[in-house]
Amino acid sequence: MTAIIAGISKRFILRVRGCKFEMASSKRDFERFVTWLHRPENRTPPDVRRLANLALEHFDELAQTSRQHNQRSIYLVPHARGSLAQTPDGPPDDDCDI
């Protein structure tokens, strides 16, 4: 019973805190995904790791876009064209709070 109440309370708090909390949670989820991509056993291609690092670097701005009308792609493509080749394919720095 306590777990159910805690779950309901958590959902309520998420709704009350709104978008800012959801964005922070989304960023943590994406950071975990990027960390997973960099595990050697996954054999993720270097360009995929570079693109994930680039998206993480621009996450806050990217999160402000919408999924509709390809806004995220429209935002990310110029950054990828301009700096993907120079973006490291190694794990992000500890500064990214992963």
Flag whether 27 is in a domain: yes
Query: Structural domain of residue 54, as residue ranges?
Result: 19-96
Given a contact cutoff of 8 angstroms between Cβ atoms, the answer to whether 59 and 97 are in contact is: no
pLDDT of 33: 93
Given a contact cutoff of 8 angstroms between Cβ atoms, the answer to whether 63 and 26 are in contact is: yes
Flag whether 54 is in a domain: yes
pLDDT of 78: 92
Flag whether 85 is in a domain: yes
Given a contact cutoff of 8 angstroms between Cβ atoms, the answer to whether 50 and 87 are in contact is: yes
Flag whether 9 is in a domain: no
pLDDT of 55: 92
Given a contact cutoff of 8 angstroms between Cβ atoms, the answer to whether 96 and 31 are in contact is: yes
* pLDDT, mean of residues 66-81: 87
Could you report the per-residue pLDDT of 35-65, keeping only the tens digit for each? 999 999 999 999 999 999 999 999 999 888 8
**Which residue matches tokens 């919408």?**
66
Flag whether 24 is in a domain: yes
Flag whether 44 is in a domain: yes
pTM recorded for the entire structure: 0.68
Structural domain tally of the chain?
1
Given a contact cutoff of 8 angstroms between Cβ atoms, the answer to whether 38 and 44 are in contact is: yes
Flag whether 1 is in a domain: no
Flag whether 7 is in a domain: no
